[in-house]
Amino acid sequence: MTEQTSRPQSQHIIQPPRTQFLTNFKLPDVSFWQDDPTTPNGISFAKMATMTRGVIIRAGQGSFEDRVFKTSWRNAKTAGLLRGAYWFYDSRVNPKRQAEKWAEIMGNDPGEMEMWGDFEDQYGGPYGGWRNWFDFMERVKALMPNQKLGVYTGYYYFQEHAAGVRYFAQYPLWIAWYNPTEPRIPPIWEDWTFWQFTSNGDGALYGVESLDIDLNYFNGTEADFLARYNAGTAQATLIAKFGDTLVEYRRVS
């Protein structure tokens, strides 16, 4: 994600509209960076839900929980969005302790999409490298055996730190590739599932307080996306205020 990363590409290039991606489903990922702590507003997931059907939310990093995760997780569900969570792996913290913290935070509501291990750390801590990523992922699997997991990374980063390690191919790939061409992926994967193509999306359009927002393509149409997560229909419970009266209504789509 954009907060603690040092990606190989020095220039963030907004992916221009191209014919071959006009039908691809698109969704954002968010973290505390999308919430301005000096205002009471927070992220408007109701507005986000007018633009997309899903969102991936940062649960935490290292040994701490993202400061707005619980609020975002709850509000995204209320808005009818399909939710995925990601954990920014921090090489300064024991991988098993990170996995345990993540599982503790998710509790009995792991979301509708995958939980994504985010491997892009550049801190140079003692727990770097793929063997520690392996320990992290395996501990999450042991703690949450029914939960699907995925891997977020960049092409050059993965090739530097885990080239040819086929263990990770069992997980779907969420690739960071900020270029105007379809992403290059590590050879252990046959294809990408999500492609983070920009960190410079229109934040206001998606209901966040930051100017920019990460945007991602799903490798398929909206119908494909909904089918993957068994969500042919989604119901959102929204609250509208008319004068002094609060009215609850449900949107089914």
Q: What is the CATH classification number for the domain harbouring 199?
A: 3.20.20.80
| pTM assigned to the model | 0.84
Annotate 182-201 with three-state secondary structure: CCCCCCCCCCCCEEEEEEEE
* pLDDT for the residue numbered 244: 52
* pLDDT for the residue numbered 36: 87
H-assigned helices in the chain: 45-48, 69-78, 95-106, 130-143, 155-162, 222-228
C-alpha to C-alpha distance for 166 and 179, rounded to whole angstroms: 26
* pLDDT for the residue numbered 202: 96
The stretch 78-93 carries a mean pLDDT of 98
Evaluate whether residue 1 is within a structural domain.
no
Evaluate whether residue 124 is within a structural domain.
yes
C-alpha to C-alpha distance for 51 and 48, rounded to whole angstroms: 5
* pLDDT for the residue numbered 26: 97
Evaluate whether residue 240 is within a structural domain.
yes
Evaluate whether residue 107 is within a structural domain.
yes
C-alpha to C-alpha distance for 35 and 2, rounded to whole angstroms: 14
pLDDT digits (tens, 9 = 90+) for 130-166: 999 999 999 999 999 999 999 999 999 999 999 999 9
Give exposure, 161-180, as e/b (b: 16+ Cβ within 10 Å): bbeebeebeebbbbbbbbee
Evaluate whether residue 45 is within a structural domain.
yes
Evaluate whether residue 129 is within a structural domain.
yes
The stretch 174-192 carries a mean pLDDT of 95
The residue range of the domain holding 128 is: 19-252
Residue 78: is its pLDDT beyond 50?
yes
The total of structural domains in the chain comes to 1
Evaluate whether residue 126 is within a structural domain.
yes
* pLDDT for the residue numbered 235: 45
Q: Name the pLDDT band for 32 (thresholds 50, 70, 90).
A: very high
* pLDDT for the residue numbered 23: 84
**Three-class SS state of 217:** strand
pLDDT digits (tens, 9 = 90+) for 203-250: 999 999 999 999 999 999 999 999 999 976 444 444 444 455 544 444
Evaluate whether residue 90 is within a structural domain.
yes
Kindly report which listed range (35-39, 56-60, 68-72, 133-137) carries the lowest average pLDDT score.
35-39
C-alpha to C-alpha distance for 47 and 182, rounded to whole angstroms: 29
Q: Name the pLDDT band for 180 (thresholds 50, 70, 90).
A: confident
pLDDT above 90 as % of the chain: 78
